[in-house]
Structure 1
Amino acid sequence: MLFGRFLLQPTSSLDDCQRRYGDYFTLRLPNRTTVLSSDPEAVKTVFTADSEHLLAGRSNAILQPLLGDRSVLLLDGREHLRQRRLLLPPFHGERMQAYAETMREVAEREVASWQRGRPFAVQPSMQAITLEVILRTVFGISGEERVERIGAGASFALFEMRIVLQAILDRVELRPDLSRGERVGRRSITLVPKRGGRIAVGAV
């Protein structure tokens, strides 16, 4: 399976591969070949196996400039378990149920600010809702002014992360597979040449 087609049409690509090759097949990435599985038992084994035998952090090393050295996605073994335990308490069942009221409140306030009959970009509103819910529920930050101030800083950090991600993608050669005559529609990723390679730059 070619990485370019997977990037452009991930869902249909994986569905086609599963029907053609079965529960196990390979995805050719720019620097490696990855084995994918749609077998529920195999997936369960991966997520419940001893972390000493399955090291996910090494495979995610390309994300280090984006996430930093201490991200749970980049750690293995005892360090991974330690960081994971620090993150889990806010996501226990009872706490998640208590978050529902906050989520509803934030969403209703944001929707109330929309102007009827006037087109607008949905992404900034969805980002604002998500960010405020995280700040209030996970980090316990309250107060409209404080949430707004920290949210602005977080939004700028996300912008910087996009710049770093751009640098990562700059090192990856992407080759879309259009041999089957599939049309690339709106909202698909655009690939343009850059210094002899190709880079994903946005949506059309």
Structure 2
Amino acid sequence: MSWKSFRFALIAAGAAMLASCGINSVPTKEEAAKAAWANVESAYQRRADLIPNLVSTVRGAAAAEEDTLTGVIEARSRATSIQLSADDLDDPAKFQQFEAAQGELGSALSRLMVTVERYPELQSQQRFGDLMVALEGSENRIETARVRYNEAVQDYNTTIRTFPDIVGAKVIHGAEPMQTFSAKPGADEAPTVDFGNEG
């Protein structure tokens, strides 16, 4: 074997080793997880954009429910003020703060929907019905985006923790695991439904 052939074989082997130690796979999977996060943010933004129209529609028909409406507006304000950039996805405290604010907004919307049940004239309005369909679609998009984000993060986190990619992840990229969405406390308990007659 000539020196030239040996050198070529050495370079090829070195390139193969580098390629298999996370040089490309870690940033590729990180970018996939960040793109999935952008979809989560987009879904949350769509929901936030619908809320002012929903609140103004309900306010016209249910002026007595001002506390509930104010709660929704305030929860939306808090949820939209907490921003979580793709660079913060490895920070558990920031991630939990963002998730808590979005959960609070979801709870406020649930209380609003319970309130709306008391106003049949509101439910019969076409505009309200359209807003409810749009809001339901937004909630479905949020759930789908969160699932896809969790899948992308699982793939990324597995990559940066397994050999040989862990070498490039730690030495070259300084990669840290990203956070995933998890179930809210109490989500494992079935809700109690009471069909008893009131009064």
Q: Which structure: larger Rg?
A: 2
Structure with greater helix share of residues? 2
TM-score, normalised relative to structure 2: 0.25
Which structure's residues are more often strand, by fraction? Answer: 1
Provide the TM-score with structure 1 as the length reference: 0.24
